[in-house]
Structure 1
């Protein structure tokens, strides 16, 4: 999209989320515009989905998330922020109707894409009600700590991969150290960013959270002895930084309540850094270090000894985990694995769930030739699905239909088993960053058996996921009643009759 189109997309979205005065916060991740709203009842989801460029809408308890896709979201977000700023003092306007929609438009008989979207919205609301538990809300907040780091993880991961490729090929050797420094610099200080974001998310002072977490990566910790051993810089990784910043938030809140106002500017930041810093050095780094090592060892052994079975389970259950909100617990695990070994072995397997979803959607397209509205939804959502953005297909197609969601999981399980099997056979690989999936994951792949083998196995897993998801959905994704209900052809329009133009009798079969 051109800059004018980016601004046009932002301008179309703004009134449909309640206007500038309803916007509390604006942020974005790799694919979604994330809006904190004062009043969620002002959101017109149906009209949002009809905006050109919008691939889907995901609303949870914390934010309204508008799926725009990789690249587009980073360009639409600044335009949206500018429009919000410009419109703060402007008089409110009524949301414009979605392009191409009229009150008098008639729907064809049978189940249309709009009706399936309504089912998807109801399922999302039910999921929100189930997910509003303290534990799942906590996981969501932990995910919010890591989501802003994804662009840097992606960029640095690709740069590090490029440096490794040049080193293996022996090309431009003078450039390899520079690329290594650029690609690794962020990862060496990721604990500081985790601490900063943790304090920000949980209501503390961000810079104090970053200051406490910086202890984890400070080279001087090598001189500190805890539990009879000297500490290592980076010991505990992001888990240690997360725990240290959470403790700093608790200490800061305690100080704000009890320290006299005259001494607050001196004592509160000092105690907020000192107390959690000491606890981090003499406890958290050791405990988090052991936990991080255990996570890495478990992941490696899981795929080395039971790769096919483990891949089948992980690939098959990932979509249900997303529905339950439990997938957010994997984000710190992915980040820990990347920090330890340079890549997460779990993400390529979990990405197979998206492949099963794409295959299932293609089968739905083929099985419902007389449902133009649903086929149009699939056509518009498939490119995003191939790049790993699965929400439009999940909430607009497979989940509302029911059975195709299950058969999509079967496709994900088959693709996961394929990738897991090759991990078990020695072709171990993973992703150097989190966030992308599908075809977008290719530039981030890294393994122990060379790039050619790594790419071939991942591509093979995608193919298996596509084909299995398609076959399972085509043959087992519909009952006869579902096909009758969903595949009803639109009735031809009957012109009005006049006394001079009598109607014809219907032909007998």
Structure 2
């Protein structure tokens, strides 16, 4: 498909002209802009352009949905028309960070650390789902698992379980790689730091409580100073703080150590200092804080389950709009590794489906706008598979009442899931395939919740459109 040059010119005009563009890049489906003033954007004019399927702003970036394949041609034409320099996604991130407040910077930092490792975590969740199906009782046979009846499948399930668990066993290594890279240090040193915190010579973190009760915690004795010889398997905060320290020490030394001896000084000193600090101060303090956070979240949902489900289930999509949902990735991972599963992620999965259901309803509501009908269908499918931004920003928030309908549906489902203590044993695909990550004894309740978020948002959107007259907000 060729690009209409006039359509690209209209996009530039709608976002405030070429002088309003600080930088621009593109991903697989979207143009990504760092704009000097987003207040100059005419969204109504922008979204009326034939090649534009939607637009939204997140984390300081203004993004225009074009579509796979076509976006490359549109970007090339945009560069030619405006004369702007070609930029990478990292260039856009660096430019937009300048406009963020301290809270937004913290949220964005967490997002930049955890999003790159999500493929490994989600993959682990899907594989653990397969293992769960093979090893769970009462799924195929009463009182027995599939591998108990078909024992020749037992080793197959065991291998799947090993592959799936690897991402969680060496989680600090993954986080160390991503965090040190984000903080400006060497990713390789981040991996070494993370693996150091789960070294087999250390007491496994999951055995810490029993060892403490029995008084068998091992110690190092460094010139009379006793340091607990404990690992930090499944912990998030220790490696985050240690990675920050490691990166800053490395940056400090790189600026001051002569090139001829950098190899002998920078990495060894940085790792040595960070290692001692991790086992002496960072680890014990953040281990306590992480458990305190986990216990606090668990206690809230234990004591006020319905209210917690109503708030988190109902408002998760609002967190997505603000970008604050990224902060809960760390909480989910911490719950998975220390509390036997996360009760937050199942509500996320249903919230995504609710947004897809509301967007899907708009395809039947809209009679004359073929462009919106097509966007409603494709964005709904995307949301059903866990990617909600096209549905939310391209359809639901534009009309507002589909977004509210989706919030109502996901709030009802959130209450159902929370009062029944539904848990996922891992983060997975946050949509219709999400049941694979749910502990199988909760499947029945989860499927009821899934029916709620499929039916309620669709029905409310359809009725609301008839009453409202299908006008944009």
CA separation of 1:48 and 1:295: change in aligned 2, threshold 3 A:
farther
Q: What's the offset of the Cα at 1:346?
A: 0.7
Match of 1:438 in 2: 431
CA separation of 1:329 and 1:486: change in aligned 2, threshold 3 A:
closer
Give 1:169's match in structure 2, choosing from 146, 150, 153: 146
The answer on whether the counterparts of 1:311 and 1:417 sit within 8 Å (CA) in structure 2 is: yes
1:3-402 map, 5 Å:
60=58, 132-167=100-135, 168-170=145-147, 171=150, 172-222=153-203, 223-225=218-220, 230-235=228-233, 237-341=235-339, 343-402=341-400
How far apart are the structure 1 equivalents of 2:193 and 2:347? Answer: 35
The answer on whether the counterparts of 2:354 and 2:457 sit within 8 Å (CA) in structure 1 is: yes
Q: Which runs of 5+ in 2 are unaligned?
A: 3-7, 13-21, 38-42, 83-95, 136-144, 204-217
CA separation of 1:486 and 1:250: change in aligned 2, threshold 3 A:
closer
Q: What's the offset of the Cα at 1:50?
A: 6.7
How far apart are the structure 2 equivalents of 1:293 and 1:324? Answer: 27
What SS is found at the alignment partner of 1:207? Answer: helix
Match of 1:468 in 2: 456
Q: What's the offset of the Cα at 1:378?
A: 1.5
The answer on whether the counterparts of 1:236 and 1:289 sit within 8 Å (CA) in structure 2 is: no
What SS is found at the alignment partner of 1:351? Answer: helix
CA separation of 1:149 and 1:63: change in aligned 2, threshold 3 A:
farther
Q: Which runs of 5+ in 1 are unaligned?
A: 1-7, 10-14, 96-127, 488-509
Query: Aligned pairs, how many?
Result: 411
Larger RCO (alpha carbons 8 Å, 6+ apart): 1
Q: What's the offset of the Cα at 1:213?
A: 2.4
CA separation of 1:229 and 1:467: change in aligned 2, threshold 3 A:
farther
How far apart are the structure 1 equivalents of 2:394 and 2:311? Answer: 25
How far apart are the structure 2 equivalents of 1:263 and 1:25? Answer: 39
How far apart are the structure 2 equivalents of 1:330 and 1:190? Answer: 16
TM-score normalised according to structure 1 size: 0.67
The answer on whether the counterparts of 1:354 and 1:390 sit within 8 Å (CA) in structure 2 is: yes
TM-score normalised according to structure 2 size: 0.72
How far apart are the structure 2 equivalents of 1:68 and 1:439? Answer: 25
Match of 2:423 in 1: 429
How far apart are the structure 2 equivalents of 1:313 and 1:219? Answer: 41
Q: Are 1:483 and 2:464 counterparts? A: no
What SS is found at the alignment partner of 1:237? Answer: coil
CA separation of 1:173 and 1:440: change in aligned 2, threshold 3 A:
closer
CA separation of 1:398 and 1:34: change in aligned 2, threshold 3 A:
closer
How far apart are the structure 1 equivalents of 2:25 and 2:290? Answer: 33
CA separation of 1:68 and 1:406: change in aligned 2, threshold 3 A:
same
Match of 1:417 in 2: 415
- Measured against aligned partners, the alpha-carbon deviations of 1:179-210 in whole angstroms (never above 9, x if no partner) come to 22222122211211211111111211111222
CA separation of 1:236 and 1:169: change in aligned 2, threshold 3 A:
closer
What SS is found at the alignment partner of 2:424? Answer: strand
Q: What's the offset of the Cα at 1:455?
A: 2.3
Which protein is bigger by CA-based radius of gyration? 1
CA separation of 1:290 and 1:159: change in aligned 2, threshold 3 A:
same
How far apart are the structure 1 equivalents of 2:472 and 2:253? Answer: 61
How far apart are the structure 1 equivalents of 2:472 and 2:177? Answer: 50
What SS is found at the alignment partner of 1:217? Answer: coil
- Measured against aligned partners, the alpha-carbon deviations of 1:39-87 in whole angstroms (never above 9, x if no partner) come to 999xxx9699977xx9866664577878899xxx9xx8xxx8xx9xxx9
The answer on whether the counterparts of 1:243 and 1:284 sit within 8 Å (CA) in structure 2 is: yes
CA separation of 1:129 and 1:288: change in aligned 2, threshold 3 A:
closer
CA separation of 1:61 and 1:293: change in aligned 2, threshold 3 A:
closer
